[in-house]
Amino acid sequence: MCVDTALTHVAKPAPAPAGIEVPDAPLGPRQVRLVPLGGLGEVGMNCLAIEQGDSILIVDCGAGFPEDDVGIDVFHPDFSWLEARADRVAGVFLTHGHEDHIGALPYLLSAFDVPVWGPPHALGLASRRLAEHDFAPHEVDLREARAGDCYDVGPFRVEPIRVTHSIVEATALAIETAMGTIVHSGDFN
């Protein structure tokens, strides 16, 4: 994970958890790799990379918050794995507008010029967060994604599915890949 201080807004990578390595071998034509960049085994920082062929889809891009006051305002996922594959990132798909799903977008989009799909409410919240980080509206490609419609992101076909949650327009995602359909529930415990 990376941290962002209130004073500098510079991301500083934390050491990778012991024993976790992501294989870097090229994928075969019918292979898919899931890379949790945050949110797995922790609360917050929801961010999943799905790799297929020469494309990567990012699902959610959330922030985490420290439990104590140590001078750090926001934690965000470590994007170094993505940075090493920057030319392969096809886009970001948001499931809903909670901060632990959208809060790290300014840090990701500082390094990647990719489209972001999501429910209208989530995009409205994300655009405010991006404006706080000095992104002008014309600098970011935000695309509304409505439940029941399908969207092509690189080789992936994504269909948002309406779910009940504590925020409006929350969705799960049905993501068609070469290996079959991945259902990402948006939030789970």
At 16-52, the pLDDT tens digits run 455 556 667 778 878 999 999 988 777 788 999 999 9
What stretch of H or E contains 72?
strand 72-76
DSSP per residue, 15-56 = PPPTT-----SPPPTT-EEEEEEE-SSSSS--EEEEEETTEE
Q: What is the pLDDT of residues 69-95, one digit of tens each?
A: 677 778 899 999 999 999 999 999 999
Interatomic CA distance for residues 102 and 169, integer angstroms: 14
Percentages of the chain per state (helix, strand, coil), in multiples of 5:
15, 35, 50
pTM for this entry: 0.86
Task: Scan for tokens 């901060």, then name that residue.
Answer: 99
- Has residue 63 got a pLDDT over 50? yes
User: What is the maximal distance between C-alpha atoms in the chain?
Assistant: 47
The pLDDT of residue 28:
82
Interatomic CA distance for residues 104 and 45, integer angstroms: 8
Between 187 and 182, name the one with better pLDDT: 182
